[in-house]
A and B are shown apart, each in its own frame.
Chain A
Amino acid sequence: MGGFASDTFLAALLFGAVTAAIPLLLAGLGEQMSEKAGVLNIGIEGMMITGAYLGFVSAYYSGSFWLGFLTGAAGGVAVAALMALLCVRIGLNQIVIGIALTLGLEGLTALLHHFQFSRSYPRLPAAEVTPIPLLADIPVLGSALFRHHLIVYLAVAMVVVMIWVYRRTQFGINLQAAGDKPAALDVAGIDVIRTRTAAVLFTGGMAGLGGAYLANVGAGLFIPFITNGAGFLGIVLAMLARGQPVWVLVGALVFGGCLSMTTAAQVAGVNIPTDVIQMLPFLAVMAMLVLFGRRASLPAALGIPYERGAR
């Protein structure tokens, strides 16, 4: 047994793809809402690493995965609140603040982790999986797709929730107006700053949750810089998805598949230098940008702080 075609390989590849895709999906769905509302949230990487760190610490001491997810999401929201204050309310440059938040929080979490655990990297126990009855028994696919932690199914369900929010709710309409023509929203009597702030906070929560999943379930431990660009991939996904949540899911699975190639190849005993395989997600980004990037349409007011009456 061995090689790319074996059942073991396929199962490991698919299982890994889903595990790797979930943080990207959460980050991408979160980023999508910010972008719809006109805020380019570059700080999402910082929100993710904060979620990963706080989520891990909280799960490690409490022994509860759910408390870990909750703390991670709360950490992301806290960072997002800072970002919303600086970029939405005060109107500072979104790119500069986003990069500063990301770099600052990567350093801060690494430092805190070092104080707490010195050079040891304690692990969490394996996350409890919730097999979906019947589906989980399908050979290969069952164990790859339907034996995951409950949060995985919830994340996928979020895609449907987001579609509903954007298509059917007043909030969804307001969001799109905030991104495409904020002045129109303002004269219609809705506070643009508040709408955008809500979107940024949501992004923070989703990114924090994604980070906590990445550390607690995906890796089972926290190491500094563990997010390794997952937040930035989330930005790419949101941009390529053109406002459609379902494309974030598709993109996340493609990137997740590339990420899981590394581990899957090792499991299957295929001898390709890991460095080559680790380049795959980034090659995939470039390929997807070349294929679909040209058609990506972004909100007209993306990245432009709103100021009433400015001409």
Chain B
Amino acid sequence: MMEHPRAGLPIVTLEGVTKRFPGIVANDRVDLDICAGEVHVLLGENGAGKSTLIAMLSGLQQPDGGRILIDGAEVPIRSPSHALSLGIGTVFQHNMLVPTLTVAENLALGGRWWKRPRTAELAARVAEIARPLGIEINLGARVSELSLGEQQQVEIVRALLRDSRLLILDEATSMLTPKGIAELGALMRRLVERGLAVVFITHKLGEAADFGDRISVLKLGRNVGEIPPERLRSLERAALVDEIVAMMFGRQAGDDAVSIPPRAANDDALLEVRNLSVAATPDAPGLDAISFAIGHGEILGIAGIDGNGQKQLAEALAGQRQAVSGSVVLAGQEINGLDVGGRRRQGLRYLTDDRLGEGTVGTFPVSINYFLKEIGEPPLWRSGVERSREIEARARELTRIYDVRTPGVSTPVGRLSGGNIQKVLIARELADGARAVIFNKPTYGLDLANTLATRQRIRDIAGQGLAVLLISTDLEELLSMCHRIAVISQGSLVGTVPNGDGAGERVGRLMIGIAA
């Protein structure tokens, strides 16, 4: 393979780049060298800070700290058009083509408004760029008629039309077929051979190993490791995978201590799910024959990259989503035929991750939100009339027991913090005869104190002998409290790992598509 003369020189350098959003640090002092002639893979889980990093490189966000150097000189990237003029082209995870315009019009987008789009000139330049790369571009086609892979090729060509020296591909393979992924890999190879730098963002380890010249691993906003080209070439694939897995999922000093609640010896399944299937929708995967059982006092974790069917699973169990087939048995009783209310009465409770949208009514007072699912029923309602005094008294009691920090029970629940809304939800769902509880991302968006409190609450629930299904995209969280962890991928469970030594890496391998 011929090395390009410019290969190895950094085009863009990040020094200590930090970006904060309310409540979280998305990027924490990230250092990165992006060099010409290299496919630089940024690898990390959801929330590792990959997208934020890209947003800063493409001018959509400004860093709060640190410097970005271009060709060795510090340059603040002010706007998307500034990024383009610096030679940084980005193909975003969600494509940035206008579906109602033709390919040619999309490519012309960004020209000065007083100029006529020069169709003939454009066609010539597109041909000049696309042909050596083996891409076919149909300029007259409307974008909405193209496949996602074709749309991505149009976007890559568009970036090259703007003389990009650095091409950023954000989760570019997430929508592609295996064949499309292989083609993209070959295309990236041809691009770096011509001296471009490519930044390839992914959470799939296999792709990183296949396509990367240099691999950087991001974890919770920090750059936790880098494998330079020399080392990458010298490693066997298996050893490489081991090294990356250790970087991504290895436990480090300072991680939460594991405290798995003790379990009663009684191993009868309390909640049992057999072959549960749900049809896919255009924007979400379905479920494919999901089976598992949870015993008394057991916490079963569901790990996986976000959007692999977690919400569908929770909703199908709660009765909010129609299942195609399968059975759900709670305490020996089939609850398939029951609707949401029926399942709730049987003791199956679901705490949604959409706390304000689906879980509570933001403008209603805290007191009514405790009893949202009992409105109109005795004893708090009599003949359909609300008994305000009883509701208030009961609400005060719950507020005290669950330590909800609210100015009063008549405060609209939407004014509370996420952690306190979560407490209101827990108080409501655990009331009267809960047997099995499904938590969907229970600590998502909470601050540390509330995260710890919520985790302790979940441990307590299990300690009382209830079955807990804990869905989370935070692997550390699952490792710190589950008895077993199942991994969901594309709507099916690809494996179950008992918690203990080395569980994190085994789950991690399953999550990124490598058998444990």
A residues near B, CB below 8 A?
168-171, 173-174, 176-177, 180-181, 183-191, 195, 308-309
Contact = CB atoms under 8 A, between A and B. Distances in A.
A176 B80 contact: no
Contacts of B96: 181, 183-184, 187-188
A171 B113 CA distance: 5
B253 to A, nearest CB: 34
A241 to B, nearest CB: 15
A191 B81 CA distance: 9
B23 interface: no
From DSSP, what is the main secondary structure of chain B's interface residues?
A: loop
B116 A177 contact: no
Contact of A170 (B55, B80, B97, B111): B111
Nearest to A178: B98
Given A187-B90, A190-B81, A308 B60 contact: yes
Contacts of B99: 180-181
A191 B113 CA distance: 11
Nearest to B55: A309
A173 B90 contact: no
A180 B110 contact: no
B400 interface: no
Contacts of A190: 81, 109-110, 113
B100 interface: yes
Nearest to A299: B100
B114 A174 contact: no
Nearest to B108: A173
Contacts of B85: 189
A173 B81 contact: no
Interface string B98-139: 111100011011111111110000000000000000000000
B476 to A, nearest CB: 24
B492 interface: no
B291 interface: no
Given A168-B116, A187-B58, A187-B90, A174 B80 contact: no
Contact of B113 (A170, A176, A184): A170
B450 interface: no
Interface of B: 55, 58, 60-61, 79-81, 84-85, 90, 92, 96-101, 105-106, 108-117
B100 A173 contact: no
A170 B81 contact: no
A189 B80 contact: yes
A185 B100 CA distance: 13
A297 to B, nearest CB: 9
Given A186-B80, A189-B80, A190-B81, A173 B92 contact: no
Give the 5 A-B CB pairs with smallest separation, nearest first: A189-B81, A188-B110, A171-B113, A184-B96, A188-B109
A181 B84 contact: no
Contacts of A181: 96-99
B100 A171 contact: no
12 contacts: A170-B115, A171-B114, A174-B109, A174-B113, A176-B101, A184-B98, A185-B98, A186-B80, A189-B110, A190-B81, A191-B81, A195-B113
A180 B142 CA distance: 14
Most buried by B among A176, A177, A189: A189
Contacts of A174: 109, 113
